[in-house]
Amino acid sequence: MKHPHPTRRRSGMVLVIVAAVVAMISLAGLAFVTTVHVEGKGVRVQADQLQLEHVVGSGTELVKAFFEQPAGVQREAGGSWDNPGRFQGVLVLDDEDTGRRARLSVVAPAGGDGEPSPVSFGAVRFGVENESARLNLGVLLSWDERVPGSAHQALMGLPGMTDAVADAILDWIDPDPTPRPFGAEADYYQGLGVPYAPRNGVPQCLEELLLVRGVTRSMLFGPDASFNQRIEPARRRPGAVRATSRFASQGPPWASLLTVSSAERNQSDAGQPRIELNQPKLAALHEALKKAFEPAWADFIVLYRQHGPYAGTGAGEPPGTRAGVPVDLALPPAVALDSVLDLVDAKVQIPAAAGRAARVIASPFASDPPSMRDYLPKLMDRTSAVSDPVIYGRINVNLARREVLRAVPGLDAATVDQILAARGPAAGHDLPERRHATWLLTEGLVDLARMKALLPYLTGSGDVVRAQVVASFDRAGPARRAEILVDATANPPRQVYFKDLRLLGRTGL
């Protein structure tokens, strides 16, 4: 019997070894190619995310640039309520080499601050939310000083609020260590498993309220888990739907009703500082008023500052009659105005002097509605009894929901109903005749006395805005979403809040 030749056996083994080595090299090459492909794809995804991050930043700058303009210019540009021409699909990146184009949209909930009803999930508009449509936690203590109990009462108007939670929120804000009747101070928080102290000041953001005893996430944010004004499919279980319906029937979540940042510039529609009616130098005041208004207005306002209101009987003579009203600019001011409305229907007595009889001068600002509709918007736009360049915490009567309006001291349910009915479909739109809260007076919803009492709490404007910026590519790819808060009372406007929402998906645009 012949055996295989040894040389042939060795040749066969070499072929097997070579085949194995080739297979291993091929597998290594395949693994290398796969790794390079995966890493390349990861780099592209990371590059896309980095580009979208800068696109979101461009959205913030877009909002800043828009609100840096005077109110009149904003209105001429289409306003900020729903302005697709300025805020929808703005092209930011146009790469000719790759053909990729990135865009941004600035969106807000369509059922937001202009609607008296709860949030309409799934609907958006291309614009912003005005923080002055919300109840500012930072002014509640000053409200309480003016009207005791008003801070607690304001919070009790929030859906699902209890006395215990309202007092706990106020204890978190107030500087004293004494708990309110149902509240909680440092001793409660120090006794928790992870102890901490109350801020004893205004929260830095609304999320901080989750640290307050009794405040839950569902109270603050409601069922909108992804902050996109939609109910996600995972939350549409029968039980979840019932819970959502139950919450919606109670009203909107607290995060849509509260703020810590509302403020407005004390400026005219043209962006100029308003004339300070209470300034000490009456010659400068008179000169500024003459440049802005007719001389009779300037004369009466200075006379009012010098002599104060006259409570005697008699109609008084209008300014500008006979030989004119004597205005001695050397006389110092004697009174200050609480509000511009102090001038309405006022009278001033000029004392007798140097053989001249005393004279009673009637205000050129009469209280009849036709006259007020003519002069009051001009007076409110160009003058102010407030010296501060920024006014904090007033509520925008054109945008606030029912729950927020009911928080205002002196606004009862019947008047709130009238306001909401008068706003009608125009709610949210920047109407020139309603730029000031005094339209409640000129349209007969309140009388002069009530308007004076309400004016410290109400406004028709606001210069701190909230929006979501959504960035995406024209073709398929990742998206980026963030919520921002821009304070346009600063010069230049500044971003004061940023919440990265990229992990929660994009809105349904």
At 106-160, the pLDDT tens digits run 999 886 444 433 344 457 889 999 999 999 999 999 999 999 999 999 999 999 9
> Strands 383-384 and 390-392: what pairing?
unpaired
CA 190 to chain centre: 34
Distance of CA 180 to the CA centre of its chain: 29
295 part of a folded domain: yes
Angle at 374 between CA 379 and CA 289, to 5 degrees: 30
Distances from the Cα of 92 to the Cαs of 55, 81, 100, 177, 368, in angstroms?
7, 22, 11, 51, 52
Q: Is residue 165 within 8 Å of 215, Cβ to Cβ?
A: yes
- Find all residues with CB under 8 Å of 370, minimum gap 6, and list them: none
Would 153 be classed as within a structural domain? no
The rounded radius of gyration (Å) of the Cα atoms in the chain is 32
In-domain check, residue 317: yes
Give the residue from 294, 384, 369, 298 showing the smallest Cα distance to 336.
384
In a domain, 371, yes or no: yes
Neighbours of 275 (CB within 10 A): 20
Is 280 a member of any domain? yes
Beta-carbon-side half-sphere exposure of residue 87 (alpha carbons within 13 Å): 28
In order along its 509 residues, the chain shows pLDDT tens digits of 555 555 555 667 878 888 888 888 888 887 777 777 676 666 666 777 788 899 999 999 999 999 999 999 999 999 999 999 999 999 998 887 777 889 999 999 886 444 433 344 457 889 999 999 999 999 999 999 999 999 999 999 999 999 999 999 999 999 999 999 999 999 999 999 999 999 999 999 999 999 999 999 999 988 766 665 544 444 333 444 444 444 444 678 999 999 999 999 999 999 999 999 999 999 999 999 999 999 999 999 999 999 999 988 766 676 654 445 678 899 999 999 999 999 999 999 988 776 677 888 899 999 999 999 999 999 999 999 999 999 999 999 999 999 999 999 999 999 999 999 999 877 777 788 899 999 999 999 999 999 999 999 999 999 999 999 999 888 777 888 999 999 999 999 999 999 998 877 665 44
Assess if residue 332 is contained within a domain.
Answer: yes
CA distance 484 to 87: 14
Q: How confident is the model at residue 112, as a pLDDT?
A: 47
- Does 270 reside within a domain? no
Q: Please tell me the distance from the alpha carbon of residue 471 to that of residue 468, in angstroms, as a whole number.
A: 10
Q: What is the pLDDT of residue 358?
A: 81
Residue-level pLDDT at 3: 57
Q: In the structure encoding, which two tokens stand for residue 25, read together? A: 């090299």
Rounded to two decimals, the pTM is: 0.85
3 state SS of 255: helix
Residue type for 228, please?
N
Residue 336 is part of which domain span? 275-384
Number of domains in the chain: 1
450 domain residue, yes or no: no
Q: What is the pLDDT of residues 379-397, one digit of tens each?
A: 999 999 999 999 999 999 9
Q: How many CA atoms lie within 13 A of 307 on its CB side?
A: 26
